[in-house]
Amino acid sequence: GQQLNQSPQSMFIQEGEDVSMNCTSSSIFNTWLWYKQDPGEGPVLLIALYKAGELTSNGRLTAQFGITRKDSFLNISASIPSDVGIYFCAGQLRTGGTASKLTFGTGTRLQVTL
């Protein structure tokens, strides 16, 4: 199945540092979403982006919907230990009426040290 290209694959950073990750696609999407997943748990929605060029924040998290509609970026400022986890981007394509599906990125594993 298709997966979006997400980078970096993993990051090992110190507490207090800023983090950036991005996601690219060969096709356009109507919506970009960012999720965080802890081991054995379901993905938790962090930020949703609905328009090309949109920049949205949620606390220390900021995400942008790329102008080309084929990419998105997530930044985490002043990282803390509880930011540890796997971050997934997801592109949503509305296929008509109420039909829709998410295509997920390959994930970025974030580890934070004190």
Q: What angle do CA 33, 43, 55 make, to 5 degrees?
A: 25
Region label for 59, one of left (φ > 0), alpha (ψ between -120 and 50) or beta (otherwise):
left
Told to check if 1 binds other proteins by CB under 8 A, we report yes
Q: What angle do CA 37, 106, 91 make, to 5 degrees?
A: 85
Residues paired with 76 in a beta bridge: 19, 61
Applying CB under 8 A, among 13, 48, 52, 84 the residue interacting with other proteins is: 48
Q: Is the preceding omega at residue 81 within 30 degrees of 0, hence cis?
A: no
Told to check if 51 binds other proteins by CB under 8 A, we report no
Q: Cβ of residue 14: shortest distance to other proteins, in angstroms?
A: 28
Told to check if 106 binds other proteins by CB under 8 A, we report yes
Q: Which stretch binds other proteins (CB under 8 A): 16-24, 36-44, 60-68, 72-80?
A: 36-44
Q: Cβ of residue 69: shortest distance to other proteins, in angstroms?
A: 15
Applying CB under 8 A, among 9, 68, 95, 113 the residue interacting with other proteins is: 95
